[in-house]
Structure 1
Amino acid sequence: MLIVSHRTHSRRVTASRLAALTTSFMALVFAAATVSPALADQKTIANLPTPVTENLYHPYDENRALLGQKLFFDPLLSGNQNISCATCHHPDLASGDGLPLGIGEGGAGIGKNRTIGSGRDLIRRRVPRNSPALFNLGALEFSSLFHDGRVEIDEKDPSGFDTPADEDTPTGLMTILAAQALFPLTSGIEMAGQGTENDIGQALEDIYGNPWKGVWAKVEQRLRQSEPYLPLFQDAFPEIQSAKDITIVHYANAVGDFVNAEWRSSQSPFDRYMAGEQQALTEQQKIGLDLFYGRANCASCHSGPFLTDQKFHAIAMPQIGPGRVARLEAIRHDRGRAGATNLIEDRYKFRTPSLRNVALTEPYGHSGAYATLEGVVRHHLDPVSSFERFSLRSVALPQHPRLSNEDGFIMQDRRERRRILAANVLKPISLKDEEVDALIAFLQALTDTSATSGRLGIPVSVPSGLPID
Structure 2
Amino acid sequence: MSLLGSFVLGLWLSAPVWAEDALSPLRAQDFRPVSKAQADLGQLLFYDKILSGNRNIACATCHHPAFGSSDALSLGIGEGGEGLGPQRTGGQGRGRIERRVPRNAPGLWNLGANHFRVLMHDGRISRDNLYGNGFNTPAEEWLPPGLDSVLAAQALFPLSSEREMAGGTEENEVAGAVFDRIDKGWPILAKRVRTIPAYGAGFVSAFDHIDTPEEVTIVEIANALAAFISLEFRSTDSPFDAYLAGDATALSPAAQKGRDLFFGDAGCSACHSGPFFTDQGFRALGLPAFGPGRTRRFDLIARDTGRMGESDDLADAYRFRTPSLRNVALTAPYGHNGAYPTLEAMIRHHLDPETARSNWRRSDLTLPEVPWLTAVDFMVQADRFEMARQAARRDIDLQPRTEPEIDALVAFLRSLTGSLSVSDPPYGVPEQVPSGLPVDRP
Alignment TM-score > 0.5, same fold = yes
Give the structure 1 partner of residue 417 of structure 2: 447
For residue 18 of structure 2, what is the aligned residue in structure 1? 46
Q: In the alignment, what sits opposite 2:10?
A: none
- Matched with 1:163 is 137
Say which is worse superposed, 353-362 or 224-233, in terms of deviation: 224-233
Is 1:457 aligned with 2:439?
no
The Cα shift of 1:96 comes to: 0.7
The aligned counterpart of 2:85 is: 111
Aligned to 2:282: 312
Identity %: 47
Please list the CA deviations of residues 194-230 of structure 1 after superposition, one character each: whole Å capped at 9, or x if unmatched.
122211122223xxx32x2221121122123222211
- 2:249 counterpart SS class: helix
- Structure 1 Cα separation of the partners of residues 375 and 359 of structure 2: 21
Matches within 5 A, 1:263-412: 263-327=233-297, 329-412=299-382
Paired with 1:303 and 1:353, the residues of 2 have a C-alpha distance of 10
- What CA distance in whole angstroms lies between the structure 1 residues aligned with 2:365 and 2:138? 30
Query: 1:108 deviation in Å?
Result: 1.8
Question: How big is each residue's C-alpha offset from its partner over 1:225-271, in whole Å with a ceiling of 9 and x where there is no partner?
Answer: 22221111111212222222111111111111111121111111111
Work out the CA distance in 2 between the residues paired with 1:467 and 1:374.
Answer: 37
The residue aligned with 1:186 is 160
- Specify the alignment match of 2:437 in structure 1: 466
Give me the whole-angstrom Cα distance separating, in 2, the residues matched to 1:462 and 1:177: 22
Distance, in Å, in 1 between the alignment partners of 2:366 and 2:53 is: 28
Aligned length: 425
Q: How does 1:29-44 map to 2 (within 5 A)?
A: none
Once residues 186 and 193 of structure 1 are traced to their aligned partners in structure 2, the CA distance between those partners, rounded to angstroms, is 9
For 1:44 and 1:184, the matched residues in 2 are separated by 37
Listed one character per residue, the Cα deviations across residues 8-65 of structure 1 (whole Å, up to 9, x for unaligned) are xxxxxxxxxxxxxxxxxxxxxxxxxxxxxxxxx9766422123211111111111111
Q: Give the structure with higher Rg (CA).
A: 1
Match of 1:34 in 2: none
1:134-149 equivalence runs, <5 A? 134-149=108-123
Residue 260 in structure 1 maps to residue 230 in structure 2: yes
1:290 to 1:388, Cα distance in 2 relative to 1, 3 A: same
Report the Cα distance in structure 1 between the residues aligned to 2:372 and 2:18, rounded to whole angstroms: 52
Deviates more, 1:196-205 or 1:183-192: 196-205
> Which residue number in structure 1 is paired with residue 51 of structure 2?
77
| 2:125 counterpart (127, 137, 151) | 151
Relative to structure 1, the CA distance from residue 148 to residue 42 in structure 2 (aligned partners, 3 Å threshold; closer, same or farther) is closer
| Range moving further from structure 2, 94-103 or 329-338 | 329-338
Q: Quote the RMSD (CA, aligned, Å).
A: 1.6
Change (3 A) 1:42 1:201: closer
With over 3 angstroms needed to count, the CA separation of the structure-2 counterparts of 1:44 and 1:147, relative to structure 1, is closer
Instruction: Determine if contact 2:81/2:91 at 8 Å carries over to the other structure.
Output: yes
Q: Displacement of 1:468 after TM fit?
A: 0.5
Distance in 2 (CA, whole Å) between partners of 1:44 and 1:272 is: 20
1:404 to partner: Cα distance: 1.5
Q: Which moved more, 1:360-369 or 1:274-283?
A: 274-283
Matches of 1:317 and 1:84 in 2, distance apart? 29
Comparing 141-150 and 50-59, the one that deviates more: 50-59
Q: State the 1:136 CA deviation.
A: 0.7
Deviation for aligned residue 1:291? 0.8
1:90 aligned to 31, 52, 64, which one? 64
Deviation per CA, 1:383-419: give whole Å up to 9, x if none.
Answer: 2322233222321311133222111122332111222
Q: 1:52 to 1:169 in 2, by over 3 A?
A: same
Change in Cα spacing, 1:335 to 1:369, as seen in structure 2 (3 Å) is: same
Contact 1:44 1:290 in 2 (8 A): no
Aligned structure 1 segments of 4 or more residues deviating by more than 3 angstroms:
41-45, 327-330
The letter for the 1-side match of 2:290 is: I
Length-normalised TM-score, structure 2:
0.93
SS of 1:152's equivalent?
Answer: strand
Residue 39 of structure 2 corresponds to 65
3-state SS of paired residue (2:197): coil
Which residue identity does 1:258 align to in structure 2?
A: F
Residues 42, 168 of structure 1: alpha-carbon distance in 2 compared, 3 angstrom cutoff: closer
Q: Could you tell me which amino acid in structure 1 is paired with residue 426 of structure 2? A: R
Compute the displacement of 1:378 (Å).
0.3
Q: Distance in 2 between matches of 1:335 and 1:44?
A: 30
Corresponding residue to 1:195 among 162, 166, 169: 169
2:202 paired with 1:229: no
Are 1:433 and 2:410 matched, yes or no? no
What is the TM-score normalised by the length of structure 1?
0.87
Unaligned runs of 5+ in 1: 1-40
Counterpart residue identity of residue 403, structure 1? L
Question: In the aligned structure 2, how far is the partner of 1:81 from the partner of 1:156?
Answer: 34
Alpha-carbon separation, structure 1, partners of 2:370 and 2:353: 30
CA distance in 1, matches of 2:284, 2:204: 46
SS in 2 for 1:220: helix
Q: In terms of mean alpha carbon deviation, does 459-468 or 114-123 score higher?
A: 114-123
Q: Quick check: 1:364–1:371 contact (8 Å CA) kept in 2?
A: yes
Cα displacement string for residues 410-467 of structure 1 (whole angstroms, at most 9, x for unaligned residues): 2332111222123201114211111111111111111112112632111221111111
The code of the aligned residue for 1:332 comes to A
Structure 2 CA distance for aligned equivalents of residues 245 and 43 of structure 1 = 52
Query: Take 1:401 and 1:86, find their aligned partners in 2: how far apart are those partners?
Result: 25
